[in-house]
């Protein structure tokens, strides 16, 4: 009996070795000169990561400080090369062939977002990118400006109820609800009232999906596709997906019918001379008017994938970045006052919201947002699947076909060779004269190159509009723990960078 058990165990180990290790033989040979943690056979650094209090994020940050701007990370069935050198990052992000994201990081999103732009690959991604790019034309963004202001007014009203200058406020949930209201109205043309009403089934389903994706990344059992449906999260995901798909499909069908009726009535009310679209424009309307390369309309599934992706990608990243911006401003009151002074100068002391054009003139505010993106980027890392051997700059290392290249944005943005005194919060790093001195791939909060973030202008406009409104209404003060020590965020990297102890500040009304 013992012999049978031992034989079975040996067979399992051999099978695992053949399945996970043999495909990596060439990759490990070509990366033998790259430093990095050794890890164990088959499982790689899995147990090392689990020992880290801050998980994968802490592991990458500690090893960046230990090994420098490039190091390799052996994991289960794959090998990643982590980079914080802008020259290496430039080689990767400029490449027009290595564009796809690793399956290991996309498969958990597929049931929800399908072949949406963020996770699609190959020729289909190129087609969708070409179709969607015009929807982020500056004239289209101006039409979203009213939504930013309306939802921002609701946010101010809610924050005023907490602005006693004494009570710690976790600012992130407020920003998340605000961003979700903005993105649903601009993406789907519908108000979900995330800020003011009890959580709707749609909002709860979004939150369930985001939680489940994070938990699948860190659970061995839930990563096994045929076992996952039988877990509690598998059952919850099935229900959440049903709610999300039904809600989106219902909106698409209704809006498609409305557009057909408008066309039949040949109504030209509210037409825009440049685009021939309604003034009250949503991303969904633009998708319904788009055409595939063969001239056929996009299918409901294609539109659903893109609207869902826009909704997902456009709210957590923006809300997280805004929350971290306000935390950093709470620690830097002199910068906060410089922003307020710029607001007063642009508005000439008037108590009103700025116009769309005036928001473009808020250069110091924009530099401050960029400095927040440098110090606490909402997307702390992203990866590419290497589909052909790629020569890097550092020591002529080769990233072999089949490996994964990871851009560790958090480490890049704190590289002291690029940013002297990197922990200092200094918006003047983004003055034009200072930008000229740096490699443009030293700052990649929206990625860069052919697969950069298509919504970055939308995100910046939303962040500038909402932060302008908040800083004209409140002073942001630092938070303190119950024992009187200054609050510091306990950082983790899940789908986005987050703080497990909330993103805490205090507010006091300027009036």
Known binding site for heme: residues?
Answer: 453
Whole-angstrom distance, CA of residue 84 vs CA of residue 412: 4
Region of residue 490 (phi > 0: left; psi between -120 and 50: alpha; otherwise: beta): beta
CA angle 107, 316, 415 (to 5 degrees): 90
Contact (CB, 8 A) for 74 and 44: yes
Pairing of strands 398-399, 404-407: unpaired
Whole-angstrom distance, CA of residue 320 vs CA of residue 129: 25
Contact (CB, 8 A) for 448 and 93: yes
Pairing of strands 474-478, 504-509: antiparallel
3-state secondary structure of 98: coil
Whole-angstrom distance, CA of residue 281 vs CA of residue 143: 7
- Beta strand segments in 147-253, E: 169-170
Burial level of 482, CB count in 10 A (0-12/13-18/19+)?
exposed
Whole-angstrom distance, CA of residue 315 vs CA of residue 283: 14
Q: Give CA separation, 482 vs 168, 169, 476, in Å.
A: 10, 13, 19
Q: Known binding site: residues? A: 453
Phi, psi of 280 (to 5 degrees): -85, 80
Q: Give CA separation, 83 vs 159, 413, 493, in Å.
A: 40, 12, 17
Contact (CB, 8 A) for 52 and 58: yes
Contact (CB, 8 A) for 463 and 369: yes
The CA-to-CA distance between both ends of the chain, in Å, stands at 81
Phi, psi of 118 (to 5 degrees): -65, -35
């Amino acid at each position: 009996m013992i012999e049978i058990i031992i034989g079975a165990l040996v067979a399992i180990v051999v099978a695992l070795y053949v399945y996970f290790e043999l495909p990596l033989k060439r990759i490990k040979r070509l990366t033998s000169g790259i430093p990095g943690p050794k890890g164990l056979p088959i499982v790689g650094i899995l147990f090392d990561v689990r020992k880290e209090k801050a998980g994968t994020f802490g592991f990458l940050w500690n090893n960046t400080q230990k090994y420098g701007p490039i190091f390799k990370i052996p994991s289960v069935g794959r090998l990643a090369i982590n980079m914080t050198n802008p020259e290496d990052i430039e080689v990767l992000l400029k490449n027009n062939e290595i564009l796809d994201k690793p399956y290991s990081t996309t498969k958990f999103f597929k049931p929800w977002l399908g072949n949406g732009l963020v996770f699609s690959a190959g020729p289909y991604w190129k087609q969708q990118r070409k179709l969607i790019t015009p929807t982020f034309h500056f004239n289209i963004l101006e039409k979203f400006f009213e939504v930013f202001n309306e939802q921002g007014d609701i946010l101010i009203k809610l924050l005023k109820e907490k602005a006693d200058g004494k009570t710690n406020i976790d600012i992130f949930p407020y920003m998340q609800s605000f961003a979700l209201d903005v993105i649903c109205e601009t993406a789907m043309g519908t108000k979900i009232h995330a800020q003011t009403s009890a959580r709707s089934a749609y909002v709860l389903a979004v939150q369930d999906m985001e939680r489940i994706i994070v938990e699948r990344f860190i659970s061995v059992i839930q990563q096994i596709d045929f076992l996952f449906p039988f877990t509690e999260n598998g059952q919850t995901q099935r229900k959440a997906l049903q709610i999300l798909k039904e809600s989106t499909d219902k909106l698409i069908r209704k809006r498609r019918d409305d557009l057909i009726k408008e066309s039949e009535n040949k109504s030209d009310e509210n037409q825009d001379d440049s685009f021939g679209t309604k003034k009250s424009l949503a991303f969904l309307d633009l998708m319904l008017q788009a055409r595939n390369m063969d001239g056929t309309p996009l299918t409901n599934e294609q539109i659903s994938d893109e609207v869902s992706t826009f909704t997902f990608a456009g709210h957590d990243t923006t809300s997280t970045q805004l929350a971290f911006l306000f935390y950093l401003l709470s620690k830097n009151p002199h910068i906060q006052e410089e922003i307020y002074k710029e607001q007063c100068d642009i508005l000439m002391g008037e108590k009103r919201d700025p116009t769309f054009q005036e928001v473009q003139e808020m250069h110091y505010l924009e530099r401050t947002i960029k400095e927040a993106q440098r110090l606490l980027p909402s997307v702390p890392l992203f990866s590419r699947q290497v589909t052909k051997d790629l020569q890097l700059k550092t020591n002529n290392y080769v990233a072999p076909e089949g490996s994964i290249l990871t851009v560790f944005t958090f480490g890049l943005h704190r590289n002291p060779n690029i940013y002297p005194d990197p922990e200092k919060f200094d918006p003047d790093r983004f003055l034009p004269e200072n930008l000229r001195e740096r490699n443009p791939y030293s700052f990649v909060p929206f990625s860069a190159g052919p697969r950069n973030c298509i919504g970055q202008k939308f995100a910046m406009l939303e962040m500038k509009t909402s932060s302008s409104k908040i800083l004209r209404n409140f002073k942001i003060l630092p938070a303190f723990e119950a024992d009187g020590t200054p609050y510091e965020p306990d950082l983790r990297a899940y789908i986005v960078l987050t703080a497990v102890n909330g993103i805490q500040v205090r507010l006091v009304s300027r009036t």
